[in-house]
Amino acid sequence: MCGIAGILNLDGSPVAPEDLESMLAPLGHRGPDDRGIWTEGPAGLGHLRLSIIDLSPAGHQPMERSPFRITYNGEIYNFPELREELRALGAVFTSNTDTEVILKAYEHWGPSSVERLNGMWAFAIWDSERRSLFCSRDRMGVKPFYYLQNRKTFAFASEIKALLRLFPSERKPHIPYLYHFLATGTHDDGTETFFENIRSLSPAHCLTVNGRGTTLKRYWDLHPNRLQGTLPKGDLSGRFRDLLTDAVRIRLRSDVPVGTCLSGGLDSGSIVTLATRITEKPMHTFSAIYREKDCDEGEFIRAVRDDCGSLATEITPLPENFLSLLPKLVWHQDEPGGAPGIYSQWHVMQAASGQVKVLLDGQGGDELLGGYFGYFPPYLRTFFQEEKERNENLLPELHGIAEEIEDLTGETQASLLQELVREFHAPKWLPLWLFRDLKHVRLALPGKKRLRNNGMFHKDLVAAANRSPIRRNLTPRFPRELDESLYRSLTANSIPALLHYEDRNSMAFSIEARTPFLDYRLVEFCMALPYDQKIRGSTTKFIMRDALHGILHPKILNRRDKKGYPTPVAQWFRGPLRDSIREILLSEDFRNRRILSPQYVEDRLRLHEEGTDVSTEIWRWLTLEIWFQE
């Protein structure tokens, strides 16, 4: 894990080393162990190293294997196997680094070499013979790659703040993207960012820049036609267990200490348990435990800790530090925050700092296997669509599932509006909340309409956003709605933001975060699974629970609720932070941003204080204001 930066002057002028120095200056947290700058005429690469594999000077970057130079951020987990394959083809290695493996792979296989990599990466390779820059980002977008291009220059970096050092005039908010974020609470991993002219290289894409122009190419895709027929015959649970175990195993490869995040859920508990079995040693675990009852995961964290004999570090973030910490957190994120869980995550990373350099985390398990309650509506539609042709007794079975879901979620049974019965051709005894969600899922798929003001936004923001709205391709690609919902979570609505937050939070403390559930082999396998291997009845993550039976502690295996990274900001915003929150969000400065309707903000604050939880909205507004101040 490192920080990278680079410049290619398209007009042929030489790169000034001081420009690269300026870009690297705000990225020191990403690579405290080594620093390198290289220039050759119109091309220049910069690198900050966090030493993980081969700690010797042989891992210095930018690395040269003539005619190529590379600056690289990430880890290639299958680099030992690739190195042996390349040796058999005649390659000679002078280091034990995965960086050199990437260079030799590129030398032998060219741009298609990225298809052989299993890992997380963002890199750029300069070919001095062809005078061409080849850039690539990993399949899931774990590692960031931002760039800015004008008529004279193409520049890239791991974080936007580095590009703003080179182009200070580009601190222009991207209003349509801002609208999208505030309206939905999400940002997808397309090319847009919160800055008008700064772009992100999309996951699973390569970008080539040279005198002939710029070429963008996708090298991997989750498409139902490609996944069809890929499932092995026989024991699917056994195959899942093998894939997850191997994903954990190769992510334990490191020349520095490795630990794990432990939140008390099924995903992190599985990783800790499997890692302990693989290493046959206690794992260092790091957890946030709150005193507030609704956010207290201590019971489940202790179950895994004691079962695995973990070397546990447990911390309790306090509200007293909340507002003073936010500017630092937002500075590292380079953008407003979508959900307050990143505050807990920040403290977990801080606790791990100085003890380990690598942390395994459970991002992706919920999005692969339907771990959130919000996946029940598309699951029920899928169940109804798949089963109605072959099951004459479907209605009683579906009714039973609906009752189980109600027991789990606490939602009460309600009669259906006749309009919804006609629209969905579904039994009228399903709970009303499910049908509202089902309608939302269905209406969200066909396309994007003109942006409207629902009273939340200032009219100037809506007008500006409508002048150049963000276009989203919402045409379904998966025939089953559950699969489509999971796909959108993986590629747009959830995982891109979670990976962004985790990268910035971990790198703020010079820690490399690794995500076994996002191993592309496991992602492809899970997306190809039958829907009832993901959710069955009211049981989420069905195949995972079956695969880890007898391995994972029963308290975790049988856990049915879902909390993510619980953070008690709802209570804090009503209690010790109430007056400070009001002072910020009702201030003249915030009003003059002309982003949100002042009356709407005041009404929502009052609603929250009266007991309705809108803390996530408040969190977004707070981080938005701090972002503008930065």
Rounded CA separation 198/127 (Å): 24
Helices (H), 25-71: none
- The distance between the two most distant Cα atoms of the chain, rounded to a whole number of Å, is 74
Q: Judge whether 279 and 248 are in contact, CB under 8 Å.
A: no
Helix axes 98-109, 79-88, angle to 10 degrees: 40
| Beta carbons within 8 Å of 74's beta carbon, 6+ residues apart | 1, 2, 119, 120, 121, 122, 123, 138, 142, 143
Beta strands per DSSP E along 61-127:
63-65, 68-76, 119-127
| Beta carbons within 8 Å of 618's beta carbon, 6+ residues apart | 569, 573, 581, 585, 604, 605, 608
Residue (of 47, 93, 51) closest to 71 by Cα position: 47
Residue 28 is given by DSSP the state: G
| Beta carbons within 8 Å of 545's beta carbon, 6+ residues apart | 266, 539, 557, 558
The pairing of strands 311-315 and 284-288 is: parallel
Rounded CA separation 525/362 (Å): 17
Q: Judge whether 530 and 478 are in contact, CB under 8 Å.
A: no
Cα–Cα distances (Å) from 352 to 20, 100, 259, 262, 272, in that order, read 30, 29, 8, 12, 15
Phi then psi for residue 14, to 5 deg, are -70, 145
The DSSP element (H or E) to which 154 belongs, if any, is: strand 153-157
Rounded CA separation 434/481 (Å): 14
The DSSP element (H or E) to which 18 belongs, if any, is: helix 17-24
Helices (H), 169-291: 175-184, 224-227, 236-250, 266-279
Q: Residue 248 half-sphere exposure, CB side, CA atoms within 13 Å?
A: 24
Rounded CA separation 475/1 (Å): 36
Cα–Cα distances (Å) from 556 to 59, 283, 301, 313, in that order, read 41, 18, 9, 19
End-to-end Cα distance, the chain: 26
Q: Which residue has the tokens 């062809």?
A: 130
Q: Which residue has the tokens 């919804």?
A: 420
Cα–Cα distances (Å) from 244 to 201, 330, 630, in that order, read 28, 33, 41
Catalytic residues: 2
Rounded CA separation 507/519 (Å): 20
Rounded CA separation 39/128 (Å): 11
